[in-house]
């Protein structure tokens, strides 16, 4: 066993109590108390390659981040020190999941689509051949659901890699957005502008909807609504049970891409390639406010009870008030922010170009000088 | 018209024979005529570099750039994190002087993006729409490079791969604006004439205009068929495979061949329906000049009754003014002949082949424009006397296009770009030597034509109220009142008006959008223009002030005379009612004649009254980002950036192990360059300092005279065959030289220059084997005269001549240990026997005379073939070489397709004859095997193979001749080499 694997095992042994469900909860979907402000950089970690659009995984005081070089890094959330790293051979673009100590990683290229690594025994448990998977995985109980480049939606047993069911989205389409699980519904938005709702237990079609524009960014579910961002300046709100369009926000400029939204209670907030962060009324679709920034916004924002945190392609992390969009703080980081921001118990975890994991926390008061 | 501007819109235009600014042996000169006073306008994302005379234009350009950025940020879903330097020139002639690239810039280049420092360099050249489009085109390149580089870095893929040129250029065209009429013309022609290059073979036309347009069409096809987002996805998937075909297959989810087939089907479905009722120029008209490139015809009937058609063209590589004799039925009675030879001398440096028309006065004076030095000039040629007439140049008028004679021959009207970069109408009075400016605004005036009664100038312009939609209409300028009136109106492109001899009509070309939004063919039209026509709508005067339109005043008719598959240009109405024009078909421009104009007008392909109901609204204008009112605050400050840093370690049987590094820096304009070279040849650590070689030099290129200077220190073991004191068997010795040098290269013209250099160095030479320990303070001065107007083909020069004459004197000013003079003459002449056959001759004479005079050496594939390199040595030498160069396989892409896959572009042969003689002062007595004191020679046959368009593989075989050709050696020699022909 190589040293890296030993380190990995040593680390992962401590995760035995974790469940996939806990990992699937995206921080920005769960409003929490504000981190505090002003923010300051706590630590920076060099992950050696770039990142996909999803946020990092967090638990038990560690940050787990996958890179486009095909590595999964485990970082001590407190210190920012490397706790372990494992290579998976091919690029990883979507976020992995952890199911009862089994790390399941989607591989963005090559013959193998999925690799499961037993973190207790430090060995590969199973691999699945098939079309590459470039989106993040969805954990459901002890299983994992994927969508590959051929548009096949598949559910696998986490323990064995056994295929449970398989379904497909319309022919000639694929998904670049991570599927969304809500209770028993699996929602898949594709690059043909279609949204497919499947029964997550059996993969049966529940409903389908066709939107005006392709979907390349991950939708979000809140309060019985599915909010779908598209590439041609439109954001849709669909009824989760029927797929009918509740409202549609259309920008005049059809070249604008809406970034993955975050939603909570009465608000759905999303950035866009035109550099604006917009907040819509989640019920009516009316624009509540918008903030202009100098650079494109492609990453999913993070909502807390009072604030919204969002990063830009200019490498700036912004903090604004959710209520009215009033800007509170701007922090210049080392590179573009293209990935969703994660909320860690004592701060934010931000992924920046070219290859840095950055933790930000409340700025410590400067020591008084006499 | 401005077709040339987009002929090669380019990201990476191709390296032409490079400038001779570093005193290269031969080469043409890139001359800095202007001393630009650079300023910087900082916008949100760009640093815009401009000079004060063009501030308004730069402010427009800055707004165009920000406008493009806002749109492209969305399309790429990406932001640039560094400011982009945009360097603007007000005209193409100024742009040609840029030092940001060392390459010569031909007329067709609309701008370029330079990868190293991310600089975007763009000329305006009078047309704001085109300026805007080129800015957008180049900014697409900036985004593409940054986006793909970022993708590769994210995936930790080495940046040794990039997207294919057809895709990057096609995307830049596609995202820089709607498809224009030139795109439609090229693609329609490619489909109809069946020369469309399929996607799998598009590398065969890499870098050509057809590649740009096909690339644009492919991007449009992808966007329409698979979704616009797939274009971005292709870039985001660039990491997946080095082979872009695989990336396409994965991204578009179809087999590459299927994509190709679907694209071709899509094109056919788009264009085939347009064939119905369309006229093919070669079937409906007679050709007057159909070989090579031909444009801008004019007609004149000489006093002896001979009818002649004059035009500009390029048949064999050099552009010329041609004429062809025609009979009364306008059938050519002979081949086109050259009237004025261009591009060979300072007087006629280059023509604006696609932009500037010719004009003949009633008394037979031909007016045409060439670049001559820093600006364009108008030449005249007296057709009856068959001699060149006066030349007219105008201070501050940089570019000149399309002169037109007044009916009395006393004035010439033309359009011209001044230092501000805007193009306007001018009239020059020859007798009074006065230049009058008729318009003064930002609109693009083109192709003035003087009416037969002398009252009006007809011209094409985007000053129409549809001009913000990039439309061009025809106008008249009333020379008595200065009023400008509409002649035509609409969203079309109306170009190249010419009056009928009676002044009742104007013949012109029109391209307009069809119902599906695409441009159709560019056809010949006629519009009523007689003096009885009521003046339509006064829309402006010479100062660009507008009055409101009076709608519905027109009863003019416009008639469509042709419905061509492709395009007509520059129609001309002859005295007996024929129409002569240039036509684009099968990727060629030819001169053709049409039937009688009146018969065509009786049965036109369409006719409608000119409608001015919507004409004459408020003038359009583009946004500007104003620069600071204080230009001093915008002064350009020279900052150096790294150009190249390269290290090298080598191991050689003679030298042992040596290592070194070269670092080069330059400022943003490329005007000031610093070079640092270091290398070391020490064999052990104790020798390190003794064998350290350093050279620091600086070159200034911002003035006409290029100046270089520097200091150096060379020390260590030298291997020098040219040193007469060196051991003959193994000429290696210790030498230490340190000193400084200075050099000036002054271009007399594009083709000639004077080079002067001097150096002063302390030289300590030690040759223990020959007990020589010589010290000297060497002063060396040299002067050279260089001429080069050679025309290059794939394997080397094919036409023109080049030569170099050098005299130098080297002396030891302290001890008189060294004292010798140098003379050298190198002449090379290329006689073009036919289009593909050249007879090349070279004469070289060299002499070093005096104390410690250096040796010359010959041998090898580049001069005396059949003799080993360095084995022919002497202080005096002559050499001559003659070569008949001819094609063996001219179009392997057609006849031997497998060769193309191997990168073989053409295969040529050469019959050669070489002869040489060297003399020595008994030097050869010390080394018996060298050839000297006898006339040597060789003759034989050679093969020349151009690989990948850049490397020429040379294989020669033949016999050696000795003793003044009295003895032929029995064995055949063979030589193998890479390099261009001499």
Residues of chain B contacting A88 with CB distance shorter than 8 Å: none
Please report the residues numbered 325 through 364 in chain A whose beta carbons come closer than 8 angstroms to any beta carbon of chain B.
335-336, 353-354
3-class DSSP string for A256-284: CCECCCEEECCEEEECECCCEEEEEECCC
Residue B573 pLDDT: 94
Residue B250 and residue A149: Cβ atoms within 8 Å? yes
Helix, strand and coil in chain A, % to nearest 5: 5, 45, 50
Q: CA distances (Å), B769 to each of A159, B524, B733, B734, B818, in order? A: 82, 84, 9, 11, 20
Greater pLDDT, B7 or B862: B862
Residue B801 pLDDT: 95
Interface size between A and B, measured as CB pairs under 8 A: 72
Stretch B678-696: mean pLDDT, rounded?
A: 86
Q: Is B157 touching A (CB cutoff 8 A)?
A: no
Q: CA distances (Å), B625 to each of A262, B59, B155, in order? A: 37, 5, 39
**Could you give the CA distance from residue B581 to residue B285 in angstroms, rounded to a whole number?**
10
Tell me: pLDDT of B903 over 80.
no
Cis geometry, peptide bond prior to residue A38 (ω within 30 degrees of 0) = yes
ipTM: 0.92
| Shortest alpha-carbon distance between residue A57 and chain B (Å) | 19
The two tokens of residue B649 are 């370690």
**Could you give the CA distance from residue B204 to residue B197 in angstroms, rounded to a whole number?**
8
Beta strands in B789-836 (DSSP E): 791-792, 797-812, 819-834
Element (H, E) at B76: helix B55-76
Tell me: pLDDT of B932 over 80.
no
Q: Is A365 touching B (CB cutoff 8 A)?
A: no
Tell me: pLDDT of B7 over 60.
no
Residue B632 pLDDT: 61
Nearest CA to A179 among A131, A129, A133, A245?
A: A133
Nearest CA to B101 among B876, B509, B593, B643?
A: B643
DSSP class of B331: -
Residue B906 pLDDT: 75
Q: Is B239 touching A (CB cutoff 8 A)?
A: yes
Stretch B838-859: mean pLDDT, rounded?
A: 92
**Could you give the CA distance from residue A3 to residue A15 in angstroms, rounded to a whole number?**
19
pLDDT digits (tens, 9 = 90+) for B535-586: 444 444 444 433 333 344 447 889 999 999 999 999 999 998 999 999 999 9
| Shortest alpha-carbon distance between residue B143 and chain A (Å) | 13
Stretch A6-23: mean pLDDT, rounded?
A: 38
Q: Is A257 touching B (CB cutoff 8 A)?
A: yes
Residues of chain B contacting A256 with CB distance shorter than 8 Å: 74
Coil vs helix vs strand at B469: helix
Question: What is the model's pTM?
Answer: 0.90
Q: Is A260 touching B (CB cutoff 8 A)?
A: no
**Could you give the CA distance from residue A90 to residue A69 in angstroms, rounded to a whole number?**
7
Question: Which chain B residue has the Cα nearest residue A93?
Answer: B155
Question: Which chain B residue has the Cα nearest residue A110?
Answer: B240
Question: Which chain A residue has the Cα nearest residue B149?
Answer: A354
- Of B71, B79, B240, which is closest to A313 when you measure between CB atoms? B79
pLDDT digits (tens, 9 = 90+) for B243-261: 999 999 999 999 999 999 9
| Shortest alpha-carbon distance between residue B44 and chain A (Å) | 9
pLDDT digits (tens, 9 = 90+) for B178-221: 999 999 999 999 999 999 999 999 988 888 999 999 999 999 99
Question: Which chain A residue has the Cα nearest residue B151?
Answer: A50
Tell me: pLDDT of B15 over 90.
no
Query: How many residues make up chain A in this entry?
Result: 370
Residue A50 and residue B229: Cβ atoms within 8 Å? no
State CA B247 to chain mean position distance.
33
- Of B74, B154, B253, which is closest to A257 when you measure between CB atoms? B74
Q: Is B175 touching A (CB cutoff 8 A)?
A: no
- Of B44, B73, B155, which is closest to A69 when you measure between CB atoms? B155
Tell me: pLDDT of A331 over 60.
yes
DSSP class of B157: -
Tell me: pLDDT of B897 over 70.
no
Residue A255 and residue B156: Cβ atoms within 8 Å? no
Q: Is B744 exposed, middle or buried (0-12, 13-18, 19+ CB in 10 A)?
A: middle
Greater pLDDT, B521 or B728: B521
- Residue reference for tokens 């180049």: B138
pLDDT digits (tens, 9 = 90+) for B100-128: 999 999 888 999 999 889 999 999 989 99
**Could you give the CA distance from residue B161 to residue B218 in angstroms, rounded to a whole number?**
21
| Shortest alpha-carbon distance between residue B254 and chain A (Å) | 9
Residue A294 and residue B44: Cβ atoms within 8 Å? yes
Contacts of B578 (CB under 8 A, 6+ apart): B330, B593, B594, B595, B596, B597
The two tokens of residue B263 are 């694209």
**Could you give the CA distance from residue B779 to residue B762 in angstroms, rounded to a whole number?**
9
Nearest CA to B39 among B22, B6, B72, B61?
A: B61
What share of chain A has pLDDT > 70, as a percent? 89
Residue B310 pLDDT: 98
Residues of chain A contacting B240 with CB distance shorter than 8 Å: 109
3-class DSSP string for A72-88: EEEEECCCCCEEEEEEC
The two tokens of residue B512 are 């307009």
Coil vs helix vs strand at A100: coil
Best of B44, B46, B77, B140 to mutate (most A CBs within 10 Å, chain A) = B77
pLDDT digits (tens, 9 = 90+) for B294-324: 999 999 999 999 999 999 999 988 999 999 9
Best of B44, B83, B146, B156 to mutate (most A CBs within 10 Å, chain A) = B156
Residue B73 and residue A216: Cβ atoms within 8 Å? no
Q: What are phi and psi of B291, to 5 degrees?
A: -95, 140
Give the lowest-confidence range in A44-58, B270-284, B652-666, B922-936: B922-936
The two tokens of residue B187 are 């693609």
| Shortest alpha-carbon distance between residue B73 and chain A (Å) | 7
- Of B44, B81, B250, which is closest to A336 when you measure between CB atoms? B81
Q: Is A68 touching B (CB cutoff 8 A)?
A: yes
Nearest CA to B518 among B182, B226, B229?
A: B182
Best of B67, B155, B226 to mutate (most A CBs within 10 Å, chain A) = B155
**Could you give the CA distance from residue A65 to residue B301 in angstroms, rounded to a whole number?**
83
- Burial code (b: 16+ CB inside 10 Å, e: under 16) for B186-205 equals bbbbbbbbeebbebeebbbb
Residue B77 and residue A335: Cβ atoms within 8 Å? no
What counts of helices (H) and strands (E) characterise chain B?
A: 15, 52
The two tokens of residue A159 are 């323990």
Q: Is A230 touching B (CB cutoff 8 A)?
A: no
- Of A191, A214, A298, which is closest to B77 when you measure between CB atoms? A298
pLDDT digits (tens, 9 = 90+) for A137-166: 999 999 999 999 999 999 999 999 999 999
What confidence tier does B42 reach under pLDDT thresholds 50, 70, 90? very high
**Could you give the CA distance from residue B542 to residue B463 in angstroms, rounded to a whole number?**
12
Q: What angle do CA B310, B311, B314 make, to 5 degrees?
A: 135
Residue B533 pLDDT: 52
- Of A68, A255, A257, which is closest to B154 when you measure between CB atoms? A68
| Shortest alpha-carbon distance between residue B151 and chain A (Å) | 8
**Could you give the CA distance from residue B157 to residue B732 in angstroms, rounded to a whole number?**
46
- Residue reference for tokens 């939708």: A219
- Beta strand B84-89 with B46-50 is parallel
Please list the residues that pair with A228 across neighbouring strands.
A236
Residue B967 pLDDT: 92
Question: Which chain B residue has the Cα nearest residue A259?
Answer: B77
Residue A16 pLDDT: 33
Best of A107, A296, A355 to mutate (most B CBs within 10 Å, chain B) = A296
Tell me: pLDDT of B668 over 80.
yes
**Could you give the CA distance from residue B409 to residue B430 in angstroms, rounded to a whole number?**
9
Tell me: pLDDT of B870 over 90.
no
Q: Is A283 touching B (CB cutoff 8 A)?
A: no
Greater pLDDT, B48 or B653: B48
Residues of chain B contacting A295 with CB distance shorter than 8 Å: 73, 79
Tell me: pLDDT of A103 over 90.
yes
Stretch B501-525: mean pLDDT, rounded?
A: 91
Greater pLDDT, B610 or B413: B413
Tell me: pLDDT of B282 over 80.
yes
- Residue reference for tokens 């019985």: A224
Contacts of B725 (CB under 8 A, 6+ apart): B733, B765, B767, B770, B772, B774, B852
What confidence tier does B8 reach under pLDDT thresholds 50, 70, 90? very low
pLDDT digits (tens, 9 = 90+) for B433-446: 999 999 999 999 99
Are A184 and A201 in contact, with CB atoms under 8 Å apart?
yes
What confidence tier does B660 reach under pLDDT thresholds 50, 70, 90? confident
Q: CA distances (Å), B658 to each of A323, B685, B735, in order? A: 69, 12, 16
Question: Which chain B residue has the Cα nearest residue A52?
Answer: B154
Tell me: pLDDT of B61 over 90.
yes
Stretch B883-891: mean pLDDT, rounded?
A: 85
Cis geometry, peptide bond prior to residue A354 (ω within 30 degrees of 0) = yes
**Could you give the CA distance from residue A167 to residue B371 in angstroms, rounded to a whole number?**
69
Residue A32 pLDDT: 55
What confidence tier does B24 reach under pLDDT thresholds 50, 70, 90? low
**Could you give the CA distance from residue B395 to residue B415 in angstroms, rounded to a whole number?**
14
Nearest CA to B237 among B247, B222, B226, B246?
A: B247
Residues of chain A contacting B153 with CB distance shorter than 8 Å: 50, 354
Greater pLDDT, A27 or A259: A259
Residue B924 pLDDT: 55
Question: Which chain A residue has the Cα nearest residue B154?
Answer: A50
Tell me: pLDDT of B19 over 50.
no
Tell me: pLDDT of A29 over 60.
no
Stretch A54-65: mean pLDDT, rounded?
A: 90
| Shortest alpha-carbon distance between residue B517 and chain A (Å) | 19
**Could you give the CA distance from residue B520 to residue B504 in angstroms, rounded to a whole number?**
27
Stretch B788-793: mean pLDDT, rounded?
A: 92
H helices present in B175-255, as ranges: 181-192, 209-225, 229-236, 244-252
Instruction: For chain A, report the end-to-end CA distance as a whole number of angstroms.
Output: 56
Tell me: pLDDT of B1 over 50.
no
Q: DSSP labels for B100-133?
A: SSSS---TT---EEETTTTEEEEE-TB-HHHHHH
Are B357 and B402 in contact, with CB atoms under 8 Å apart?
yes
Nearest CA to B884 among B840, B946, B835, B915?
A: B840
User: What is chain B's mean pLDDT, rounded?
Assistant: 88
The two tokens of residue B252 are 């578009």
Tell me: pLDDT of B946 over 90.
no
- Beta strand B84-89 with B119-123 is parallel
Q: Is B224 touching A (CB cutoff 8 A)?
A: no
């Amino acid at each position: 066993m190589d040293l890296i694997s030993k380190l990995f095992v040593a680390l992962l042994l401590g995760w035995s109590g974790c469940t996939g469900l806990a990992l699937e909860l995206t921080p920005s979907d769960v409003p929490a108390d504000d981190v505090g402000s002003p923010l300051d950089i706590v630590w920076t970690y060099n992950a050696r390659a770039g990142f996909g659009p999803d946020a990092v995984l967090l638990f038990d005081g560690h940050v787990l981040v996958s890179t486009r070089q095909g590595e999964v890094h485990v970082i001590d959330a407190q210190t920012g020190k490397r706790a372990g790293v494992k290579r998976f051979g091919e690029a990883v673009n979507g976020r992995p999941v952890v199911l009862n100590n089994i790390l399941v990683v989607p591989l963005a290229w090559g013959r193998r689509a999925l690799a499961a690594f037993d973190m207790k025994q430090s060995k590969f448990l199973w691999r699945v051949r098939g079309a590459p998977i470039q989106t993040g995985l969805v954990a459901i109980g002890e299983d994992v659901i994927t969508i590959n480049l051929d548009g096949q939606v598949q559910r696998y047993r986490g323990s064995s890699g056994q295929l449970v069911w398989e379904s497909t989205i319309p022919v000639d389409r694929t998904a670049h957005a991570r599927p969304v699980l809500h209770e028993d519904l699996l929602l898949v938005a594709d690059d043909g502008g279609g949204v497919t709702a499947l029964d997550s237990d059996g993969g049966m079609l529940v409903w389908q909807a066709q939107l005006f524009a392709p979907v390349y960014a991950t939708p979000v579910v809140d309060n019985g609504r599915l909010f779908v961002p598209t590439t041609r300046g439109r954001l849709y709100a669909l009824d989760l049970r029927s797929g009918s369009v509740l409202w549609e926000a259309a920008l005049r400029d059809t070249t604008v891409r809406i970034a993955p939204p975050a939603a909570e209670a009465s608000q759905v907030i999303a950035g866009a390639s035109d550099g604006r962060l917009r907040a819509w009324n989640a019920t009516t679709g009316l624009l509540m406010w918008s903030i202009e920034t100098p650079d494109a916004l492609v990453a999913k924002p993070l909502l807390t009870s009072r604030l919204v945190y969002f990063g830009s392609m200019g490498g700036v992390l912004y903090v604004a008030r959710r209520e009215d969009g009033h800007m509170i703080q701007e922090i210049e980081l080392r590179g573009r922010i293209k990935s969703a921001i994660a909320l860690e118990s004592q701060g934010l975890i931000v992924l920046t170009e070219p290859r840095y994991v950055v933790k930000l926390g409340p700025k410590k008061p400067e020591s008084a000088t006499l | 018209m401005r077709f040339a501007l987009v002929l090669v819109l380019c990201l990476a235009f191709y390296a032409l024979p490079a400038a001779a600014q570093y005193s290269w042996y031969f080469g043409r000169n890139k001359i800095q005529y202007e001393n630009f006073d650079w300023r910087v306008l900082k916008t949100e994302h760009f640093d815009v570099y401009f000079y004060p005379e063009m501030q308004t234009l730069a402010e427009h350009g800055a707004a165009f750039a920000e406008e493009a950025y806002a749109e492209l940020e969305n399309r790429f879903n990406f932001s640039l994190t560094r400011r982009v330097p945009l360097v603007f020139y007000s005209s193409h002639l100024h742009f040609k002087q840029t030092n940001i690239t060392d390459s010569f810039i031909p007329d067709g280049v609309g701008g370029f993006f330079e990868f190293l420092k991310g600089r975007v360099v763009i000329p305006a050249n009078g047309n704001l729409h085109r300026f805007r489009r080129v800015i957008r085109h180049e900014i697409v390149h900036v985004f593409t490079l940054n986006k793909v580089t970022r993708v590769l870095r994210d995936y930790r893929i080495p940046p040794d791969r990039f997207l294919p040129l057809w895709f990057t250029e096609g995307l830049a065209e596609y995202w820089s604006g709607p498809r224009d009429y030139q795109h439609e013309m090229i693609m329609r022609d490619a489909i109809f004439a069946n020369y469309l290059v399929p996607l799998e073979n598009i590398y065969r036309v890499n870098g050509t205009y057809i590649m740009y347009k096909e690339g644009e069409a492919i991007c449009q096809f992808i966007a329409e068929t698979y979704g616009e987002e797939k274009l971005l996805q292709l870039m985001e998937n660039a990491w997946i495979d080095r082979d872009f075909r695989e990336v396409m297959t994965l991204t578009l989810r179809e087999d590459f061949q299927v994509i190709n087939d679907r694209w071709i089907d899509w094109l056919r479905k788009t264009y085939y329906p347009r064939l119905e009722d369309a006229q093919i120029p070669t079937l409906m008209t007679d050709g007057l000049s159909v070989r090579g490139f031909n444009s801008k015809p004019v007609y004149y009937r000489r006093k002896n009754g001979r009818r002649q058609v004059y035009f500009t063209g390029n048949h064999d590589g050099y552009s010329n003014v041609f004429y062809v004799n025609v009979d009364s039925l306008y059938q050519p009675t002979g081949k086109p002949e050259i009237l004025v030879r261009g591009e060979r001398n300072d007087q006629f440096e280059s023509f604006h082949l696609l932009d500037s028309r010719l004009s003949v006065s009633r008394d037979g004076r031909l007016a045409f424009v060439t670049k001559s030095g820093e600006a364009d000039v108008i030449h005249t040629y007296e057709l009856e006397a068959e001699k060149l007439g006066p030349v007219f140049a105008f201070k501050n008028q940089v570019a000149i296009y399309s002169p037109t004679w007044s009916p009395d021959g006393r004035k010439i009207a033309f359009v011209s770009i001044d230092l501000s970069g805007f193009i306007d109408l001018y009239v020059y009075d020859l007798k009074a030597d006065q230049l009058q400016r008729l318009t003064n605004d930002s609109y693009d005036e083109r192709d003035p034509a003087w009416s037969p009664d002398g009252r009006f100038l007809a011209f094409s312009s985007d000053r129409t109220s549809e001009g913000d939609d990039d439309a061009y209409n025809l106008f008249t300028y009333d020379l008595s009142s200065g009023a400008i009136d509409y002649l035509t109106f609409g969203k079309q492109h109306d170009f190249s008006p010419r009056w009928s001899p009676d002044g009742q009509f104007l013949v012109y070309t029109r391209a307009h959008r069809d119902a599906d939004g695409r441009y159709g063919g560019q056809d010949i039209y006629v519009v009523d223009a007689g003096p009885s026509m009521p003046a339509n709508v006064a829309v402006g005067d010479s100062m660009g002030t507008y009055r409101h339109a009076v709608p519905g005043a027109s009863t003019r008719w416009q008639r469509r005379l042709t419905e061509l598959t492709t395009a007509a240009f520059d129609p001309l109405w002859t005295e007996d009612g024929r129409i002569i024009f240039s036509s684009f078909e099968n990727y060629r421009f030819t001169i053709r004649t049409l039937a009688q104009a009146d018969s065509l007008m009786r049965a036109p392909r369409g006719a409608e009254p000119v409608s001015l109901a919507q004409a004459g609204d408020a003038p359009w204008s583009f946004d500007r980002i104003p620069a600071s009112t204080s230009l001093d605050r915008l002064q350009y400050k020279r900052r150096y950036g790294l150009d190249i840093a390269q290290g090298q370690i080598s191991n050689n049987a003679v030298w042992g192990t040596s290592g070194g590094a070269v670092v080069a820096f330059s400022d943003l304009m490329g005007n000031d360059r610093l070079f640092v070279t270091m290398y070391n040849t020490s064999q052990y650590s104790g020798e390190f300092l003794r064998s350290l070689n350093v050279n620091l030099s600086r070159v200034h290129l911002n003035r006409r005279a290029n100046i270089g200077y520097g200091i150096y220190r060379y020390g260590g073991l030298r291997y020098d065959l040219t040193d007469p004191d060196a051991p003959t068997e193994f000429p290696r010795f210790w030498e230490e030289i340190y000193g400084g040098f200075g050099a000036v290269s002054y271009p007399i013209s594009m083709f000639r220059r004077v080079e002067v250099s001097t150096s002063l160095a302390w030289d300590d030479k030690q040759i223990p084997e020959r007990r020589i320990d010589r010290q000297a303070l060497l002063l060396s001065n040299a002067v050279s005269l260089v001429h080069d107007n050679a025309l290059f083909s794939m394997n080397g020069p094919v036409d023109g001549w080049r030569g170099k004459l050098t005299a130098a004197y080297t002396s030891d000013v302290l001890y008189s240990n060294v004292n010798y003079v140098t003379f050298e003459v190198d002449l090379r002449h290329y006689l073009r026997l036919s289009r593909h056959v050249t007879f090349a001759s070279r004469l070289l004479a060299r002499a070093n005379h005096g104390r410690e005079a250096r040796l010359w050496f010959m041998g090898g594939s580049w001069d005396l073939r059949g003799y080993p390199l360095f084995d022919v040595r002497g202080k005096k030498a002559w050499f001559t070489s003659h070569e008949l160069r001819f094609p063996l396989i001219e179009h392997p892409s057609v006849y031997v397709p497998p060769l193309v896959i191997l990168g073989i572009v053409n295969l040529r042969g050469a019959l050669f004859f070489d002869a040489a003689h060297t003399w020595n002062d008994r030097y050869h007595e010390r080394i018996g095997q060298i050839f000297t004191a006898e006339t040597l020679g060789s003759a034989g046959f050679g093969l020349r193979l151009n690989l990948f368009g850049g490397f020429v593989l040379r294989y020669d075989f033949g016999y050696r001749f000795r003793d003044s050709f009295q003895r032929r050696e029995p064995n055949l020699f063979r030589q193998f080499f890479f390099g261009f022909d001499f």
